[in-house]
Structure 1
Amino acid sequence: MTKNLAFAILVAVGTCQHSPQTTFTNPILDTGADPWMFRHDDYYYLTYTNNVNVKLFRSKSLTQWSDAESKTIFQPVPGMNYSTDIWAPEIHQIEGRWWVIFTADPRNDSPPPEVEMWCEYSCPAVHHRMYVVVGMGNDPWTAQYQFQGQLETYDQFAIDGTYFRHGDHLYHIYSCWYRKYDGWPANLCITKLSNPYTTASRFSERQIISVPEYAWEKTPFGRASNDRLSSNEGPQQLTNPTTGQEFLIYSAARSDNRNYCLGQLELVGEDPMNPSDWRKHPYPVFYQNPSESAFGVGHASFTTSPDGSEDWMVYHGMKDPTNGWSARTIRAQKFDWNDDGTPNFPKPGYGPYQVPNGQ
């Protein structure tokens, strides 16, 4: 081999080693559920359910998290009503502060028999409520976080709460029961807030805007005998950046099951507190893809590519649905918009996919 040829090979290898990745494959994280991702300045931020605390990750890549930085931003003290089973944390920037909203309970999801006996069905989550942590500062990474308090849900079951902003008003949308000891079904409730930690609506003003009514919202698929395991949960606001149409993308069925999927509500009126102002899509908008062993896909959050030209969804799913909750991993895929302004989600899969524009 001549000296010039050897040098050319070394240059080519070095160039290849340092060239940016153009594709990625799912999952982007090998474990995790209920992902919440957002972009702020030059970083993507991610948090998800780990049951014990709220941990924040950051990366300059939407799809590369193996070497991401991480820090715990909220560690509950033992013995409190919010000390165990911390689920579905989200972080929202509202009026210059970072508001962390999450679900928790006091007993590792295990109420005493004297409480659970009131439920028509088994109701281990009867003590789950919504809580808020606030972060002071312009940057979510360096903000100082402190516990703010419980977000009032009328002393009833509440999980997967999110903030919904419409006009000048702030709302809380979460998964709820009809009554305190129902157990099932899980519906979508909305209340009006006066600030991110204070409910302004009275209990009589609370509205249920979606119930599991279709076969795909029930577990097993199409269960007809009762409402056990029928769920609407994991609501997320999604706004069409061109038309301004407002959607609520939620999860349906049960999260440890192959049939977990995404449903869609569209706000077609002016008042989110009026159930008639919401229009429900009769079919799931994102659902299992058995041909690629992509099951139990749901609880999505939404962000954009680094250059802002693409819309992306981040969600959890499973390859082996027989392993239930422990099988969930975090995935990402690009989505588009239909001519009528509704989101056009892809089939879930593993790729390889093109990396986001600008990454």
Structure 2
Amino acid sequence: MFKLLLIAALAVVAICQGYSPPHNSTNSTTFTNPIINEGADPWMFRHGDYYYLTYSNNVNVTLFRSKSLTDWDGAESKLVFAPPPGMNYSTDLWAPEIHNLDDNWYVIFTADPRNDSPPPEIEMWCDYNCPAVHHRMFVVEGKGSDPWEAEWEYKAELDTYDQFAIDGTYFQHADQLYHIYSCWHRKYDGWPANLCITKMEKPWMVSSPFSERQIISVPEYAWEKTPFGRASNDRLSSNEGPQQLTNPTTGQQFLIYSAARSDNRNYCLAQLELVGDNPMNPGDWRKHPYPVFYQNPSESAYGVGHASFTTSPDDSEAWIVYHGMRDPTNGWGARTIRAQKFGWNEDGTPNFPKPGYGPYEVPSGQ
């Protein structure tokens, strides 16, 4: 659950605005994974002639852009937000996402005030070790139509009722904006990590009181727990990294989220489908009983999760961008960023491939 990277190595990388992320092998017709050799929690989107990418680096929010979905050699980079010291959002910046809402751009990200290390007088309240007890969700606003030229400034902390919150995302349905994030039942639980949903009045303002917050998914299946099938307690059982995915043909709404633990070979993607009209009603969500994207030992592709979704340059193909690891014994520091094409099943659900390294055909129109 706790997405610590190798801080010493990545901090230098992230602070340098001119940095071009390590890249894969790409030619005119094929590419191989990973597309970036260091990184986790990738968020990629298309706007105009460019693909844009950001991911966890612990210290700031850096945005990259490339005209290729799979080739980031020489990609331009820009520092979007670097927090000042001494704030509640100064350290451990995780899982940034950039969304276009109301004609402006919004970065939603996770952070904490003290490098994931609460004082003993706080942590003693937790049933389990809970270093992330002070993690919360924050928003940076970018004014302007172009994310590269936008004027960025810190906007607000999202209200998560003074409780643990990571991996927040925006979910849009029927002209209503929602905040979905990884949460605990209570302030000092430590485990399990669940999926919570609240209504939003604005991209930086939650409108639901605590009494209306809903938990729409908890780790209930063997594959959502670490070690696999853990029966003794809920420690390390996680639902996190939620992402909205819409079938462009049928309009079906899915929430693709990560389960188990992100430094572990068992990390995988799971699926909720909105089968009713009210995302705030847990009964309107249907959980798939099996993971929909998971490790592929035959190709040494482990710990695959925390995905985002985009399309090929000609809009004819759907693509998943995710992180994974080749050597799961090295934990968080082993994660790299990959991309693969996916399709749709006859029932309208996404049909994800087995994770691997390729070579694969480059996206159509690239």
Q: What TM-score do you get using the length of structure 1 for normalisation? A: 0.95
Write the mapping of 1:139-178 to structure 2, written as runs, cut at 5 A. Answer: 139-178=146-185
Aligned to 2:119: 112
Q: Which runs of 5+ in 1 are unaligned?
A: 1-18
* 2:140 pairs with 1:137: no
Q: Spell out, residue by residue over 1:57-94, the C-alpha distance to the aligned partner (whole angstroms, 9 max, x if none).
A: 00000000121000110000000000000000000000
Write the mapping of 1:64-213 to structure 2, written as runs, cut at 5 A. Answer: 64-213=71-220
Give the Cα separation in 1 of the matches to 2:108 and 2:91.
Answer: 15
Aligned to 1:308: 315
Give the Cα separation in 1 of the matches to 2:120 and 2:92.
Answer: 19
State, as a whole percentage, how many aligned pairs show the same letter. 81
Give the Cα separation in 1 of the matches to 2:67 and 2:73.
Answer: 12
One of 17, 33, 49 as aligned partner of 1:26? 33
C-alpha displacement at 1:277, in angstroms?
Answer: 0.1
Aligned to 1:16: none
C-alpha displacement at 1:56, in angstroms?
Answer: 0.1
- Distance of aligned partners of 1:120 and 1:41 in 2 relative to their CA distance in 1, 3 Å threshold: same
Aligned to 1:62: 69
* 2:230 pairs with 1:223: yes
Q: What TM-score do you get using the length of structure 2 for normalisation? A: 0.93
Give the Cα separation in 2 of the matches to 1:95 and 1:156.
Answer: 28
* 2:340 pairs with 1:333: yes
Residue 204 of structure 1: SS of its match in structure 2?
A: helix
Aligned to 2:354: 347
Give the Cα separation in 2 of the matches to 1:235 and 1:197.
Answer: 18
Aligned to 2:60: 53
Write the mapping of 1:245-284 to structure 2, written as runs, cut at 5 A. Answer: 245-284=252-291
Q: Spell out, residue by residue over 1:105-128, the C-alpha distance to the aligned partner (whole angstroms, 9 max, x if none).
A: 000000000000000000000000
Give the Cα separation in 2 of the matches to 1:152 and 1:166.
Answer: 20
Residue 34 of structure 1: SS of its match in structure 2?
A: coil
- The structure with more radius of gyration: 1
Give the Cα separation in 2 of the matches to 1:61 and 1:167.
Answer: 33
Give the Cα separation in 1 of the matches to 2:265 and 2:27.
Answer: 35
Give the Cα separation in 1 of the matches to 2:229 and 2:72.
Answer: 37
C-alpha displacement at 1:20, in angstroms?
Answer: 5.9
Residue 154 of structure 1: SS of its match in structure 2?
A: coil
C-alpha displacement at 1:26, in angstroms?
Answer: 0.1
Residue 224 of structure 1: SS of its match in structure 2?
A: coil
Q: Spell out, residue by residue over 1:6-57, the C-alpha distance to the aligned partner (whole angstroms, 9 max, x if none).
A: xxxxxxxxxxxxx961000000000000000000000000000000000000
Count the aligned residue pairs: 341
Q: Which runs of 5+ in 2 are unaligned?
A: 1-25
Give the Cα separation in 1 of the matches to 2:180 and 2:72.
Answer: 29
Residue 44 of structure 1: SS of its match in structure 2?
A: strand
Give the Cα separation in 1 of the matches to 2:204 and 2:187.
Answer: 21
Residue 42 of structure 2: SS of its match in structure 1?
A: strand
C-alpha displacement at 1:149, in angstroms?
Answer: 1.0
Give the Cα separation in 1 of the matches to 2:284 and 2:191.
Answer: 25
The AA in structure 1 aligned to 2:61 is V
Q: Spell out, residue by residue over 1:262-306, the C-alpha distance to the aligned partner (whole angstroms, 9 max, x if none).
A: 000000000000000000000000000000000000000000000
RMSD over aligned Cα atoms: 0.8
Give the Cα separation in 2 of the matches to 1:196 and 1:178.
Answer: 24
Give the Cα separation in 1 of the matches to 2:57 and 2:273.
Answer: 31
C-alpha displacement at 1:223, in angstroms?
Answer: 0.2
C-alpha displacement at 1:247, in angstroms?
Answer: 0.1
Residue 211 of structure 2: SS of its match in structure 1?
A: helix
